[in-house]
């Protein structure tokens, strides 16, 4: 008698769509780190990132019925996350032009170290100080690997704006990392 | 730093950053508070013009689901040359109540179980349609194997075997038996109850139960149960090994095997019940309200309450396998 995996990833999605909280929790556990990382870098604020991560998964719960399996679940979820963060940032005028305090993510709280780890921490700090629009495009393009067309589709900005923001972000980052 | 070095450094940043705290409780609370409708939800935005057609559709669906299906079920040939009442089955056909589907060593067929599910009949099987009613969809598996997947409220689909009856509780499972009733149930989704002459085993996802003729169903065990436990449960259930087998089972059981000990509790001799309870309580602490006295008296509410905790932990272990390490004693995830 074969021992097939009892609950596959597809099963979890199907169970969650049917209202099973435990299956949905499993999806949360699987993807929380990636979603939180995205929210943290896009928002530039740890507390805000936690709120947004919750918003993303609540939105995911609401929208699970529309997931058709045409892409990987993770890809679908991360796009949803980008959309949620983007809309939240646009809708929150209080945060307009916000510049993040330097040491928000846990990994930034270890202090500067040498070598590749040190470079990563410096880079994280520098990303956090970018203006919002530049930071968002840099994170999506250079960290997450989306193309300008994808970014334009997800966020509603023009492809040209995306390219301009990326150029600006890279210039600012180089300047700040070379100080 | 030049542009390429910057891009390389950006791509090497970890994409995943663990949240500083567990955000799940907040998400769960928001979901439970009904702030979010599940499954394409946005329920709060639905208006009457949405609900009325939905209600009508649900009514039609209910009528279709619950109406008698004319005592015939559709059968499809999957491979080889299955036969219905000795007549070769072409691409598809029907089975009426009382008719028998047989597959030889190279044949397979699929039966549509009314409107509630399907049964894949494995090679070398004999299946009879016993009843095709709205509240009783029933097959008899004389020998061979089936893979059943049912999407319906519990206790609408039954499979009789020579050793007892598998009762669907909303599930997917594989059931195999020989003509004497010696067989095995493997549940791959949901729960199945296997009942014989008043005795029953509730088999959850990722668990097995053995069957033997003229015996209560075997004690369920999880797929990765220790071999010593499986052997002891087999000896207890089918070889009348009694206290010796119980002792071995208690010694071999882990917290992950609580479903087995919970079943043992009501099967062992009253003189052994205390030892079984104590071991079970040591492996998975009983929930509030469950007392030793209540458990030893086999108080239904007590047993049901304990089972609720055990099956919840079991389900978390199964569903979070490969994602999170679940403490089998508590059901909590370990960081």
A19 closest CB neighbour out of B28, B38, B206: B38
> In Å, how far from its chain's centre is CA B196?
17
Closest Cα of chain A to B284: distance in Å?
A: 19
Q: With beta carbons under 8 A apart, name residues in chain B contacting A32.
A: 18-19, 23-24
The two counts, helices (H) then strands (E), for chain A are 8, 0
Domains of chain B (ranges; CATH) run: 68-218 (2.60.120.1440), 222-335 (no CATH)
Q: Which of A86-100, B68-82, B142-156 has the highest mean pLDDT?
A: B142-156
Tell me whether strands B125-133 and B100-103 are parallel, antiparallel or unpaired.
Answer: antiparallel
Average pLDDT over chain A reads: 78
In a domain, A121, yes or no: no
Stretch A1-6: mean pLDDT:
36
Instruction: Tell me what pLDDT residue B56 has.
Output: 59
Instruction: Tell me what pLDDT residue A60 has.
Output: 93
Mutate to test the interface with B, among A43, A56, A61 (most CBs of B within 10 A): A61
Using alpha carbons, list the distances in angstroms from residue B184 to B149, B190, B221.
Answer: 17, 17, 11
In a domain, A34, yes or no: yes
Residues 6+ apart with CB under 8 A from B240: none
HSE-CB at B99 with a 13 A cutoff on CA atoms is 19
Local structure of residue B45 (DSSP, 8 states):
G
In a domain, A67, yes or no: yes
- pLDDT reading at B237 higher than 60: yes
Q: With beta carbons under 8 A apart, name residues in chain A contacting B21.
A: 50
CB count in 10 Å sphere of residue A75: 10
Stretch A6-17: mean pLDDT:
76
A106 closest CB neighbour out of B20, B206, B324: B20
| Nearest Cα to Cα of residue B274 among B300, B243, B314 | B243
| Nearest Cα to Cα of residue B111 among B147, B136, B62, B161 | B147
Read off the pTM. Answer: 0.57
- pLDDT reading at B155 higher than 60: yes
Average pLDDT over chain B reads: 87
Token readout for B16 is 């995943």
The total domain count for chain A is: 1
Rounded CA gap, B280 and B303, in Å? 12
Rounded CA gap, B156 and B210, in Å? 23
Band of the pLDDT at B210, cuts 50, 70, 90? very high
In a domain, A22, yes or no: yes
In a domain, A46, yes or no: yes
- What domain range is A24 assigned to? 10-98
Instruction: Tell me what pLDDT residue B194 has.
Output: 95
Return the CATH number at A33.
1.10.1740.10
């Amino acid at each position: 008698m074969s021992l097939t995996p009892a609950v596959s990833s597809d099963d979890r999605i199907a169970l969650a769509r049917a209202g099973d909280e435990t299956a949905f929790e499993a999806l949360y556990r699987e993807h929380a780190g990636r979603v939180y990382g995205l929210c943290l870098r896009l928002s530039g604020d740890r507390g805000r990132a936690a709120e947004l991560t919750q918003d993303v998964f609540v939105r995911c719960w609401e929208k699970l019925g529309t997931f058709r399996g045409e892409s990987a679940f993770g890809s679908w979820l991360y796009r949803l996350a980008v959309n949620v963060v983007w809309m939240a940032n646009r809708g929150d005028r209080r945060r307009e032009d916000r510049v993040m305090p330097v040491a928000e993510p846990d990994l930034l709280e270890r202090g500067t170290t040498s070598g590749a780890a040190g470079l990563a921490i410096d880079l994280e700090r520098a990303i956090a100080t970018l203006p919002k629009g530049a930071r968002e495009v840099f994170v999506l393009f250079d960290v997450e690997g989306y193309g300008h067309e994808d970014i334009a589709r997800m966020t509603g900005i023009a492809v040209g704006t995306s390219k301009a923001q990326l150029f600006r972000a890279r210039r600012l980052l180089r300047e700040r990392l070379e100080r | 730093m030049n542009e390429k070095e910057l891009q390389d450094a950006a791509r090497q940043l970890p994409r995943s950053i663990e949240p500083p705290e567990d955000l799940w409780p907040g998400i769960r609370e928001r979901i439970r508070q009904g702030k979010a409708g599940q499954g394409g939800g946005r329920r709060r935005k639905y208006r009457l013009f949405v609900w009325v057609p939905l209600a009508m559709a649900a009514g039609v669906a209910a009528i279709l689901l619950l109406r008698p299906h004319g005592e015939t079920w559709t059968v499809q040939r999957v491979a080889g040359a299955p036969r219905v009442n000795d007549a070769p089955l072409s691409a598809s056909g029907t089975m009426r109540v009382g008719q028998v589907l047989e597959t030889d060593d190279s044949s397979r067929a699929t039966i549509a179980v009314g409107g509630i599910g399907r049964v894949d009949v494995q090679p070398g099987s004999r299946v009879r349609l016993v009843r095709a009613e709205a509240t009783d969809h029933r097959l008899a598996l004389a020998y061979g194997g089936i893979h059943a997947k049912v999407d319906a409220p519990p206790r609408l689909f039954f499979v009789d075997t020579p050793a007892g009856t598998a009762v669907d509780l909303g599930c997917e499972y594989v059931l195999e038996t020989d003509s004497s009733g010696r067989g095995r149930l493997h549940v791959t989704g949901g729960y199945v109850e296997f009942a014989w002459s008043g005795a029953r085993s509730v088999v959850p996802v990722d668990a097995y139960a053995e069957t033997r003729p003229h015996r209560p169903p075997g004690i369920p065990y999880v797929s990765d149960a220790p071999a010593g436990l499986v052997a002891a449960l087999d000896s207890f259930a089918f070889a009348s090994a009694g206290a010796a087998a119980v002792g071995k089972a208690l010694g071999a059981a882990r917290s992950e095997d609580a479903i087995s000990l919970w079943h043992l509790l009501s099967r062992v001799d009253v003189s052994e019940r205390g030892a079984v309870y104590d071991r079970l309580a040591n492996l998975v602490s009983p929930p509030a309200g469950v007392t030793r006295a209540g458990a030893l008296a086999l108080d239904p509410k007590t047993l049901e309450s304990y089972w609720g905790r055990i099956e919840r932990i079991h389900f978390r272990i199964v569903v979070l396998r490969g994602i999170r390490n679940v403490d089998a004693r508590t059901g909590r995830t370990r960081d």
